[in-house]
Amino acid sequence: LIDNINIKDYSDSEYRKLFSVVFQDFELFAFSLKENIILDEQEDEEKLIKTLKMAGLYEDAMKLENKLDTTIFKSYDENGTELSGGQQQKTAICRALYRDSPIVILDEPTAALDPVAEYEIYKHFNELVGGKTAIYISHRLSSCKFCDEIAVFADDTIKEYGTHDELVKIESGIYSEMYNAQAKYYVENVS
């Protein structure tokens, strides 16, 4: 059930409109930056600017030669621009946010971002998803601290479920062991 409606009662297009997704292996197209974000949605410049700012891409976009109308990649336009991996990832995040679906699925959405940009996304995560149902998939457990609930999957089943604070307290727990193993890299060499 989604919103108390059996998913079989949704048409394919209605069902797809329920979801905005950022896959870790997203694709961008050799179109303008604006077209890559809007795709087939109705253009709303105010919403587009807000989305760019929320994802931390606005300033970079305004520096481009043709701003939002700049073609990305040089496949079909020799004057196109090549975005960095982080800028591409932010574009994919913008696309999902612009779609404005009630359910947002983010699969390792910050993998190509530098630590500062990643921190900014986490810091503004609740604002980014704005009261929607958000499913955040990550192996970097420090990025899960802001999640309301965490489900730990292993062997195709949920093995642990709770908040970050609850899960790190489970002795010999999967989440606790993974979190502590990852945390060691940050505190091991601190004087």
Distance, in Å, from the CA atom of 48 to the CA atom of 118, rounded to the nearest integer, reads 21
Q: Which residues pair with 107 in a beta bridge?
A: 137
Would residue 166 count as lying in a domain?
Answer: no
Q: What pLDDT shows up at residue 118?
A: 82
Q: Assign residue 68 the CATH number of its domain.
A: 3.40.50.300
Where b means 16+ CB within 10 Å and e means fewer, 73-106 reads beeeeeebbebeebbbbbbbbbbbbbbebebbbb
Please check whether residue 168 lies inside any domain of the structure. no
The verdict on residue 178 lying in a domain is no
Q: What is the pLDDT of residues 49-104, one digit of tens each?
A: 999 998 999 999 999 999 999 999 999 999 999 999 999 999 999 999 999 899 99
The total of structural domains in the chain comes to: 1
Q: What is the pLDDT of residue 188?
A: 64
In terms of C-beta density within 10 A (0-12 exposed, 13-18 middle, 19 or more buried), how is residue 137 classed? middle
pLDDT score at 181: 92
- Is a pLDDT exceeding 70 seen at residue 130? yes
Structure pTM?
0.86
What is the residue range of 24's domain? 7-137
